[in-house]
Amino acid sequence: MKRILFIAGMMAAIMAACNGGSSRSWDETALDNARIQIGLQIDSVEGLGEQFNNPTSIQEDGSVLYCDVTDWRSGFFPGTVWYLYELTGDSMLVPYARKYTEAVADAQYLKWHHDVGFMVGSSFGNGYRLTGDSAYALAVVEAARSLSTRFRPNAGIIQSWDVTPGSEREAKGWACPVIIDNMMNLELMFEATKLSGDSSFYDIAVSHADRTLKEHFRPDGSCFHVIDYDTITGDVRHRHTAQGCAHSSAWARGQAWAIYGYTVAYRNTGNKAYLEQAVKTFEFVRNHPNMPEDKIPYWDFDAPGIPDEPRDASAATVIASALYELSTYVADGRSVDYVEYADEIMKSLSSDNYTARPGENGRFILMHSVTSKPAGVEIDVPLNYADYYYLEALKRRRDLMKSAGSVGEADH
């Protein structure tokens, strides 16, 4: 694998951008830019040596943060390269996508937190979808087995985090915390049942989605971040937050995970209650008085310093990607409306306000995301999952345009 290949690919993207000039549509420009930036990232990763350095964010000194395989974000860079391959058709990307995916193979055996759905779904799941490689399917099923070990039958949920003696979680009084983010791990369970024929993964996913639907949501459609359960009685012990500004607040990425998670749950079950929840939570965020005009949310809708609070581009990418899918499940008038709303998010993200210049921003595509403001961790930084869901959204949009027969019509 040679750096020169990427330089050739980047040159092609740059030439396309220059030749097209102002006639290129925003989504074409977005893809040109992604190709250049991710090409530079691959080039840099390859330059670091044989062992995979997995780009995740940037640190306070401006250097790139590389995560290890146990980090919940370890599948996103491999997945980003799969999506870039899918969007560009550039087969030179495949060996890199394979190499980075296989480098995170140990994630399928991880049992001490719930994020294997993110980790293995974005890497092996996309790899299987795009190559049909049966070894990748086996990894998806193995990961579902690992995640199943965290199912707590009396509460009917998959436990998100362990609570170890002396930990901060123990100090908060938690016994079995489940975060709304966990809805994102269910896609892996649904896929694993399709691949293996073992319905237990599907059953666990449905149980988790049903209990979460009952316990995580407020009457206005917003959701709590953390629900803490008693694993013996199955009762709720606490309704808390971890990354939001208050237990009662609407942490932006949590709302995004809920919209996306219930859209996926509806796709896999046909349960209208899931669809209604996805719509209700989306309507909550779109109508929230603190949703900015450019539709990139602040990190928490109730953050006390709004408008002087950081935005969270990652939440926006997740909402946009979910909306393109959700638009296909709602009635006609609303369907167009949802696509338009997602397009507005994507145009904002693709502007200079959020898209970094080539070679800057640690070679990540998007700027301005937040991991955890309360913990003071990664505030107003690039995050690899913002890039991942941004490319996924571009891909979903392109699929929608194709099926509507309007591909090639420039939308400025």
Q: Which residues bind ligand GLY (CB under 6 A)?
A: 72, 181, 243, 253, 371
- Count CB atoms within 10 A of the CB of residue 144: 29
Q: Do 114 and 161 contact (CB within 8 A), yes or no?
A: yes
Least distance (Å) between residue 180 CB and ligand GLY? 9
State the catalytic residue, choosing from 115, 228, 302, 312: 115
380 an active-site residue? no
When the beta carbons of 96 and 262 are compared against ligand GLY, the nearer one is 262
181 an active-site residue? yes
Residue with the closest Cβ to ligand GLY? 181
Least distance (Å) between residue 310 CB and ligand GLY? 14
State the catalytic residue, choosing from 43, 181, 228, 387: 181
Cis peptide before 165 (omega within 30 of 0): no
When the beta carbons of 234 and 374 are compared against ligand GLY, the nearer one is 374
CA 53 vs CA 84, 116, 205, 297: distances in Å: 19, 19, 32, 30
When the beta carbons of 44 and 372 are compared against ligand GLY, the nearer one is 372
Q: Which residues, other chains included, contact 279 with Cβ-Cβ below 8 Å and sequence gap of 6+?
A: 326, 330
Least distance (Å) between residue 367 CB and ligand GLY? 17
DSSP states along 291-318: S-TTS--BSBTT-TTTTSS-B-HHHHHH
When the beta carbons of 72 and 354 are compared against ligand GLY, the nearer one is 72
When the beta carbons of 30 and 256 are compared against ligand GLY, the nearer one is 256
Q: How far apart, in whole angstroms, are the C-alpha atoms of residue 33 and residue 64?
A: 19
Least distance (Å) between residue 115 CB and ligand GLY? 7
When the beta carbons of 232 and 377 are compared against ligand GLY, the nearer one is 377
When the beta carbons of 253 and 396 are compared against ligand GLY, the nearer one is 253
Active site residues: 115, 181
